[in-house]
Amino acid sequence: MSAKKTEATTEAPPEDLTREQLLGMYRRMRLIRAFEDKAKERFEAGEIAGFLHLSQGQEAVPVGVCWALGPRDYITSTHRGHGDVIAKGCEVKRMFAELYGRATGYCKGKGGSMHIADFSQGIIGATGIVSGSLPTSVGIGMGIKQRGGDEVVVCFFGDGATAEGGFHEALNLASLWQVPVVFVCQNNLYGLSQPWEKTAYKCDLVARVGTYHIPGECVDGMDVIAVHRAARKAVERARRGGGPGFIEAKTYRFLGHYVGDPALYMPAEEREAWRKRDAIVKLRGQLLAWGYLTEAEDEAMGAEVAAEIEAGVEYAKASPLAAPETALDELYVHFDYLGNPR
Amino acid sequence: MAVREITYREALKEAMREEMLRDETIFLIGEDIADPHGGSYKVTAGLSTEFGLDRVIQTPISEQGFIGTAVGAALMGRRPVAEILYIDFCTMAMDQIVNQAAKIRYMSGGQAKVPLVIRTQGGMGRSSAAQHAQSLEAWFVHTPGLLVAMPSTPYDAKGLLKTAIRLDDPVIFIEHKLLYNTKGPVPEEEYTIPFGVADVKREGRDCTVVATSRTVLMALEAAEALEREGISVEVVDPRTLFPLDVETIVGSVKKTSRLVVVHEAVERCGFGAEVVAQVAEKAYGYVDAPIVRVCAPSVPAPFARQMEDYVMVDAKKIADRVRQLVRGEI
């Protein structure tokens, strides 16, 4: 992140978050931004195959939400999920390894950008099917409930998913069965090239979800503290057995749907206005104003993040390619891909 | 072994009941499966009364939602047995079946497993018309990541369902709407049937008939009629379509040198095409006659009984084709 100019804040530092927590969030947001900037650069250089759906601009949402989760909690994610999984704890080096098709990648090169998962950290794979993870999240919640656990699952999805049938079925069942799922809509105002207001008639998502008797809150997705507070409330309620919750985080996709999408459908003035509201810049300004961060510390953190990213790319490039024949592995537990018993 | 005659329906219920008693992580989920309704085909009748509504979970009409729920619960180490009332309604849940359940293990690099059974039923014969009488097994056999079972007898139904519930891979378990009342011997003692092992339902010399689900019974009826004409038919029931016991099928064809493949699904790109291809690859030179399929023509299931009879496989159609084949008339 190169932007240096910050707006002065008149707010007092929050009483419910420590300096360490806020610095941690800030660093994690920067790590996501740096990861995606680097992934874009390497993709454009032809080193990474497939699709990249980037989430620049949305970092405050997964970071604010995941800061309300513990290591045993779960998340599900989407095709635009790099930020979500980093926020929950994925290491960038193994993510780069996945993007580079290496054996050391989280999915051994079988998942790629859209399916990064780390079950050991409760990171249930991202899915490339819009709304596909919503019904599955209800089942994760049901599984938690059945085994008497107090974990919570956060289901991240975009505004595009709200027009899919899976969204409505999942909300209905989550409410009916009172499962511990927090649905988090990252409303970045575009589904593919379709602006939000052209996909749902006068839609107030909190009101819409409210008809399923799921309590919801609409927050500024460019304010990590606001997102975190809403998430903390919903997660704590779900953990206590209070049933599902919903958060609509109003945010913005700074770039197109995928790397290479010129995004001509996004008006220049709209993009400019949202870029001025960059959540990372906003938090940086707050941290400086509150005396939680000095310019020198900020620069040191930037260098540290950049080094982590560089090391991640180096790790990926130095890792062995996933062997071609491993394409035939790990389909079934009990049989090989031809159906012969293991 | 003590063997009694019970129905296909009772055999399926026994399989679920025994497994639920054995493993408390197993639960049933689906529409109308709880008492007093007990399932639209009464397969789960009594189970919610015995195990409670936490283990027999009745759902709204919401296939995508509850199959997704079953997938998520399976990821959490639970062992759901979901029921989709008619296989036709799998269309409502195809994303969860094909993109999620079948793929999660693979695309996560083996981090996850999905021990999920989806019980459903298909087939013609009850004037159920085009949206309640399909045989869609080929869709699922065509999807890497899914196992597919199609039992034809009460014995197979029980043994295969118990195995399906114990496997850690997603299984599409396809019953037949006209088999639920059929009776057959089922031991009282515990047994399971491994996936990927075909059953030679009748031995013969002149022609192999590979048949699935209810058409196995039709093939056996045809074989009996042909026996009286001096034609000896071997009937092979793969029991699981994936994994498929190619070895038994090929071995049978090598013995009889003739092959007829039978199923209720439409012929075009049906499961029979796979059987024919396997035999063409592995028993080339052993086959002395054209390989023939007896399947439905590629039309939707019609409503009127006379039209349904016209398109549906039956024992006579199978016998006619086998007779022609053996007599060298094809």
Distance between CA atoms of residues B201 and A33, nearest Å: 63
Model confidence at B169: pLDDT above 90? yes
What is the H or E stretch that residue A81 is in?
A: none
Facing B69 at nearest CB: one of A142, A334, A340: A142
Sign of CA dihedral B72, B74, B80, B85: positive
- Give the pLDDT band of residue B2 (cuts 50, 70, 90): confident
| For chain B, percent of residues with pLDDT exceeding 90 | 99
Do A114 and A331 meet the contact criterion of CB atoms below 8 Å apart? no
pLDDT digits (tens, 9 = 90+) for B172-183: 999 999 999 999
pLDDT of residue A6 exceeding 80: no
Query: B73 vs A143: CB contact, 8 Å cut-off?
Result: yes
| Cα atoms in the 13 Å half-sphere on the side-chain side of B180 | 17
Contact A108 B243 (CB under 8 A): no
Q: How confident is the model at residue A8 (pLDDT cuts 50, 70, 90)?
A: low
The reply to whether residue B75 touches residue A115, judged by beta carbons under 8 angstroms, is no
CA of B111: which chain A residue's CA is closest? A119
User: Which of B68, B99, B113 lies nearest to residue A139, judging by beta carbons?
Assistant: B68
pLDDT digits (tens, 9 = 90+) for A125-155: 888 999 999 999 999 999 999 999 999 999 9
Average confidence (pLDDT) over A202-221: 97
Contact B78 A173 (CB under 8 A): no
User: How many angstroms separate the CA of residue B122 from the nearest CA in chain A?
Assistant: 24
Best probe of the A interface among B25, B53, B69, by most A CBs < 10 A, is: B69
**Alpha carbon of B127: minimum distance to chain A alpha carbons (Å):** 30
Q: In which region does residue B194 sit, left (phi positive, over 0), alpha (psi from -120 to 50) or beta (all else)?
A: beta
A270/B215 Cα distance (integer angstroms):
63
Nearest chain A CA: its distance from B254 CA (Å): 21
In the predicted model, is pLDDT for residue A194 greater than 80? yes
Contacts of B76 in chain A (CB under 8 A): 139-140, 142-144, 146-147
- Alpha carbon distance A57, A266 (integer Å): 14
Which residue on chain B is closest to A179 by alpha carbon? B69
Site from B57, B62, B107 to mutate, A interface, most A CB atoms within 10 angstroms: B107
Which residues of B participate in catalysis according to the annotation? Answer: 63, 132
Q: What is the distance between the alpha carbons of residues A218 and A197, in angstroms, rounded to a whole number?
A: 16
- Which pLDDT score, from 0 to 100, does residue A2 have? 46
- B54 three-state secondary structure: coil
3-state secondary structure of A9: coil
- DSSP letters for A101-163: TBTTSTTTTSS-GGG--BGGGTEEEE-SSTTTHHHHHHHHHHHHHHTT----EEEEEEGGGGG
pLDDT of residue B194 exceeding 70: yes
Token pair recorded at residue B154 = 């009460």
d(CA B89, CA B95): 12
In this prediction, residue A1 carries a pLDDT of 46
pLDDT at A126: 84
The pLDDT tens digits of the residues spanning A222-269 come to 999 999 999 999 999 999 999 999 999 999 999 999 999 999 999 999
Q: At B96, list the tokens.
A: 């969860």
**Average of per-residue pLDDT values in chain B:** 97
Helix (H, G, I), strand (E, B) or coil at A79: coil
**Cis peptide, bond prior to residue B243, ω within 30 of zero:** yes
Name, in order, each residue with C-beta under 8 angstroms of B124's C-beta and a sequence gap of 6 or more: B133, B135, B264, B296, B301, B308, B311, B312
- Rounded Cα–Cα distance for residues B134 and B88 (Å): 6
Q: Are B105 and A330 in contact (CB under 8 A)?
A: yes
For residue B109, list chain A residues with Cβ-Cβ distance below 8 A: 105-111, 117, 330
Provide, as residue numbers in chain B, all residues whose Cβ is less than 8 Å from the Cβ of A172: 60, 62, 65
Of B76, B95, B144, the CB nearest to A140: B76
B69 CA to chain A: closest CA distance, Å?
A: 3
Q: Which of A118, A142, A335 sits opposite B72 (nearest CB)?
A: A142
Residue with the two structure tokens 């780069």: A96
**How much is the average pLDDT of A320-324?**
98
SS3 B128: coil
The amino acid present at B235, given as its one-letter code, is: V
DSSP A31-74: HHHHHHHHHHHHHHTT-S-S-----TT-THHHHHHHTT--TT-E
> What is the per-residue burial (b if ≥16 Cβ within 10 Å, else e) of A132-155?
bbbbbbbbbbbbbbbeeeebbbbb
A–B interface: beta-carbon pairs under 8 A: 165
Indicate the DSSP class of residue B184.
Answer: E
Whether A136 sits inside 8 A of B99 (CB atoms) is no
Q: What is the mean pLDDT of chain A?
A: 96
Residue A82, SS3 per DSSP: helix
DSSP E strands in chain B: the ranges are 3-7, 26-30, 56-58, 79-84, 117-122, 147-149, 171-176, 183-187, 199-202, 207-211, 233-237, 240-242, 259-266, 292-296
Assign B3 a pLDDT band (cuts: 50, 70, 90): confident
Angle subtended at Cα A326 by Cα A321 and Cα A329, rounded to the nearest 5 degrees:
150
Residue A3 pLDDT: 47
The continuous run of DSSP H or E covering B16 comes out as: helix B8-22
For A73, nearest residue in chain B (alpha carbons): B76
| pLDDT average, residue stretch B166-194 | 98
Nearest CA distance, B309 vs chain A (angstrom): 35
- How large is the average pLDDT for residues B193-220? 98
Region of B38 please: left (phi>0), alpha (psi -120 to 50) or beta: left
B249 pLDDT higher than 50 = yes
pLDDT tens digits, B277-296? 999 999 999 999 999 999 99
Q: Which chain A residues are closer than 8 Å to B194 by Cβ?
A: 341
Residues 6+ apart with CB under 8 A from A135: A166, A169, A170, A173, B64, B65, B66, B67, B68, B69, B71, B72, B96
Secondary element (H or E) of residue B291: none
CB within 8 Å: B66 and A166: no
Tokens at A166, concatenated = 């899976």
pLDDT of residue A7: 56
